[in-house]
Structure 1
């Protein structure tokens, strides 16, 4: 069945089912990672716990391009349902083991590796699915709805995971995560998708996986919008992830804001990012999308630098709201352009390339930021990170195809 034509995405039951499934699954992910972190700390040293919680990123980064090929060859809906079911079954199995015995760190490390491996397939398929559940002019609105789902998961997931740990320990928290992911599976099964065109289906069957991979990379490299867009996303994430994760923790400690102060700053960022996602959800289309993306990145980067020099907590929270609003708007525009500019047949692979940047390369900036702050302090490191982030906006402004890119009407 085809997606409903002429129906706004936020009023389309088919899209709403997908958003609900995605949001519930993301809440489950938040609970899972909190439970994994808590269980690792309880079973080993702080260094060992860090290794366990980070090990899932390795297969995710190494295998994500292959996951994009799988999503494009077999269809994103089928891949999302299958991988979500595997994630659910794996987490519930570990929860059952933890209820009976305490196997130690090896089971947690194995779980992290399995979860990261399945994520390498799940994430590109999730990114490719919106193009098959709605029309192209609604993809930007879906991107905003997806952003709201991520904000909701961030707000609800951690307290829910903490409640699970408090009630029944790590086993209860893992069981909660598995059940949340389980809820998303029947919702995904109920989602209708557009059938692939005959030439798309033939192309899937007539090529090898290696050729598919090379074709996807070539599609990104030669595209007048997607090529510079990937560089913009990479620079933006590299400049953003360090300061807003480990850097913010160190800044709060340096200024004496404490954990509650850091929570207020993070809340400010989440509020700004949520407003940006809501704007795109309501409007559905922002004119001059490429120019808006570039124009929001640069002042957003300046706000990141200013955060390190905020004279007090109230100013820091206000600055964080601005950072969230501007970077959230630029991120939403970049995501919407990726969805609308990529050929549908390549969307899984295109999403995988962007995912490698965001989930594989950008996290490397966190230990580097921590080490640099230890040597030079928060101010200089936040400024350098802001410059890197702003370079993404400069790339977008200097690339005519991206600067002039528009969202479909």
Structure 2
């Protein structure tokens, strides 16, 4: 069974489309709520648990998200991404506000916080694939590059504003106030999403399969696709070599160089500015020619910049390097995301997004404890160089695969 989008005769530019703007407002509000939620959860757990318990509760979302992510892609494709996103945000809103009410009325201990983390992880498993599949139903394929840039800007805005907003809520009324704010921000997204119009899929007649057969069909679609299969490999290698150095590696680097938490914050700010600039570029231009070629070279160049972080002679040099890392990896990430959106059969887009999200959110974070142990054994320089090499292999895959190298965004 195949499916194609019913494309209107002319597509309104995404940034001028009120329907896309409503979706963007809903997505931004939901992401702000996410960031405030994580701030509230970490504060609530720290106030009532040992360090080991803090780690367990904060990581409780990861397991259900990783285990259920592929199934979440099937759900998104079967029931429609808009319906799934609305339901997911509604469940998250109710769960967060329920915990806020418990904190207001009593001191419930760790159990409700752990259950909340587990619920968030399980809901994320369907929310993330649905969010990835939704833009293709909002606008024409020629606007998906611009939408990817707009989505990247929303994520950066939520990260920059959400954490301080959560901190202010905690300072004003403790974890209860922060959870309440998070729930209200997520709630704002629901009526906005209800008002969003989506385009239908034109499907050929065929019998509906089981969930397992749907999952296998989605994986088969990726495996047999001339662009998607190497693109997934490039994303996996790029993330595997990038995630750990920019998380646990950066913390150890700042500690050993004596930059402290403030210095690490400046380096992360440089990365955020670079990544935001890449998203802005794509949001303004709408598309870049030779998208596959650009993705390959920016992954490769970004890997060199990642390796260079360990050898930055000063904090200022590290901030400048991080800005370059953000610009290059932000651009490659936007190109890869836009290619996923435009190359995948729309009927499989939830499952395609689930696979790429599982790589980024479920598998590559597992490299962080190994990276930390390797840095302890061999030092920062060698580990950063090896990580950069793994990341660079993703660019090589993109450049040596003809179909991916020549892939273009519609426009």
Q: Distance in 1 between matches of 2:280 and 2:7?
A: 26
Q: Which one of the candidate residues 262, 265, 273 is aligned to 1:263? A: 265
Contact 1:137 1:407 (C-alpha < 8 Å) held by counterparts: yes
Q: Which one of the candidate residues 282, 287, 290 is aligned to 1:288? A: 290
State the match for 1:235 in structure 2: 237
State the match for 2:93 in structure 1: 88
> What do you get for the CA RMSD once the two structures are aligned?
1.3
Q: Distance in 1 between matches of 2:115 and 2:377?
A: 35
State the match for 1:37 in structure 2: 42
Q: 1:401 to 1:2 in 2, by over 3 A?
A: closer
Cα displacement string for residues 89-124 of structure 1 (whole angstroms, at most 9, x for unaligned residues): 101101110111111111111111011001101110
State the match for 2:387 in structure 1: 385
Contact 2:7 2:140 (C-alpha < 8 Å) held by counterparts: no
State the match for 2:369 in structure 1: 367
State the match for 2:227 in structure 1: 225
Q: Distance in 2 between matches of 1:383 and 1:198?
A: 48
Q: Distance in 1 between matches of 2:275 and 2:245?
A: 16
Cα displacement string for residues 31-61 of structure 1 (whole angstroms, at most 9, x for unaligned residues): 1111111111111111110111111010101
**Structure 1 position 134, deviation (Å):** 0.3
Q: Distance in 2 between matches of 1:52 and 1:142?
A: 34
State the match for 2:16 in structure 1: 11
Give the helix-richer structure, 1 or 2. Answer: 1
State the match for 1:352 in structure 2: 354
Cα displacement string for residues 58-100 of structure 1 (whole angstroms, at most 9, x for unaligned residues): 0101101111001101111111101110011101101110111
TM-score of the superposed pair, with normalisation by structure 1: 0.97
Contact 1:3 1:192 (C-alpha < 8 Å) held by counterparts: no
State the match for 2:66 in structure 1: 61
Q: Distance in 1 between matches of 2:385 and 2:32?
A: 33
Contact 1:30 1:154 (C-alpha < 8 Å) held by counterparts: yes
State the match for 2:317 in structure 1: 315
Q: Distance in 2 between matches of 1:174 and 1:11?
A: 34
* Secondary structure in structure 1 of the residue aligned to 2:134: helix
* Secondary structure in structure 2 of the residue aligned to 1:244: coil
Which structure 1 residue ranges, 4+ long, deviate > 3 Å from structure 2?
1-5
Q: Distance in 1 between matches of 2:381 and 2:94?
A: 45
Q: Distance in 2 between matches of 1:4 and 1:347?
A: 23
**Farther-moved stretch of structure 1 (254-263 vs 211-220):** 254-263
1:28 equivalenced with 2:33 (yes/no): yes
Cα displacement string for residues 159-217 of structure 1 (whole angstroms, at most 9, x for unaligned residues): 01111111111111111111110011111111100022142xx55x6221111110000
State the match for 2:403 in structure 1: 401
**Structure 1 position 5, deviation (Å):** 3.2
Unaligned runs of 5+ in 1: none
Count of residues in Structure 1 that have an aligned counterpart in Structure 2: 406
Q: 1:277 to 1:107 in 2, by over 3 A?
A: same
Cα displacement string for residues 135-172 of structure 1 (whole angstroms, at most 9, x for unaligned residues): 01000100000000011011001101111111111111
Q: Distance in 1 between matches of 2:146 and 2:298?
A: 18
Q: Which one of the candidate residues 152, 160, 165 is aligned to 1:160? A: 165
Contact 1:3 1:193 (C-alpha < 8 Å) held by counterparts: no
Q: Distance in 1 between matches of 2:323 and 2:374?
A: 25
